[in-house]
Structure 1
Amino acid sequence: MADLVNQIGNKIRILRKNRGLTQAELGEKVDLPQSYIGGIERGEKNISIVTMERIIDALRISPVELFSTVQLSEKEQVLDSLKVLLLTRSLNEIEIIYRLSKDVLAALDTKK
C-alpha cells in the first residue's frame, strides 16, 4: 500500500508541475499548506478521499487520470502538457489545432 501512496504522490507532483504550479499554489487552491502538499508528493501523507478530490479538481483532471498508469511515461507526460495547453483555448481554437495536427501527422506519415 505504501508503494501506491508514493506513486500517487509522484503523479500529483508531475501533474502539478505540468500545470506550472508550485506546491504553495496548489496548496492555496486546495486550502492546504505547502508543507502538506510536499508530504503528499513524497508519499509521507495518507490523504483522505475528500483531499484527493480537491486536488483532482485543482489539477483539472479526472479521478481516472490520477489512478491510470500511476507512473507516467515520458510520452504521457508530454500528452498531459499538451492537454494543459489546450484547456485554456476555445473550442474553435482547439478544432483549428486538431486540423493542423492531422495535416502534420499525414505529412509525417507520407515520409515513412
Structure 2
Amino acid sequence: MQDKEVLKLVGARIRVLRKEKGLSQEALGEKGGFHFSYIGQIERGEKNVSLLNVAKIAKALDVNLIQLFSYVSEDPKMMESDLEIIEIITMLRKSSPEKVRLARNVMRELTSGGEQNHSR
C-alpha cells in the first residue's frame, strides 16, 4: 500500500463518519479545534495528519480511534449487505462474550454449507 493510498483511505473514512454524524467540515473543525479547510485536506488525503490530531478528530466524531482506520471504499455507495454486516457488528459489540461466541457458531453453521466444522 502506497503512502498516499493510506492518506486517502483514512480521509475517506473520516468523511463517511462525519457525514453519518450530520456534521459539516466546519462543524467538525470547530469540535476538534481545527480550521475547516484542514478537515477538507485530510478528507481528500492531502495532509499527513499526526496521530494526536487523528485522536482529536475521533473524539470530535464521538468514535473510537480504531474506527477511523476501518477503511471504506472510496465509492460512497455501500451494498445493502454491507449495511447489514455493519449492523450485525454493532449489535455484537454490545453483546456479552457468550452471545458473541453463539453468533460465531451460528455463522460457522450458515457459511459451512452443511459441512461439519466445529474447530475453534
Is the TM value for this pair above 0.5?
Answer: yes
**Structure 1 equivalent of residue 20 of structure 2:** 18
| CA 1:26–1:71: 2 relative to 1, 3 Å | same
TM-score, length of structure 1 as denominator length: 0.64
Residues of 1 paired with 2:63 and 2:85: CA distance? 15
The code of the aligned residue for 1:65 comes to Q
Per-residue Cα deviation, 1:40-98 (whole angstroms, up to 9, x for no partner): 00000110111000001111111221112x01572349947xx7xxxxxxxxxxxxxxx
Query: Following the alignment from structure 1 to structure 2, what is the Cα–Cα distance between the partners of residues 77 and 27?
Result: 30
Structure 2 alignment gaps of length 5 or more: 91-120
The amino acid across from 2:16 in the alignment is I
Cα deviation for residue 3 of structure 1 reads 0.2
Match of 1:60 among 59, 62, 82: 62
State the partner residue of 1:71: 72
Q: Does 1:37 align with 2:39?
A: yes
**Percent identity over paired residues:** 39
Secondary structure of the corresponding residue to residue 20 of structure 1: coil
Which secondary structure does the structure 2 equivalent of 1:40 belong to? helix
Give the root-mean-square deviation of aligned CA atoms.
2.3
Does residue 27 of structure 1 match 2:33? no
Structure with greater proportional helix content? 1
Q: Which runs of 5+ in 1 are unaligned?
A: 84-112
Larger Rg: 2
Q: CA deviation at 1:17?
A: 0.3
Q: Which residue of 2 aligns with 1:91?
A: none
The separation in 2 between residues aligned to 1:57 and 1:78, in whole angstroms, is: 24
What is the match of residue 6 of structure 1? 8
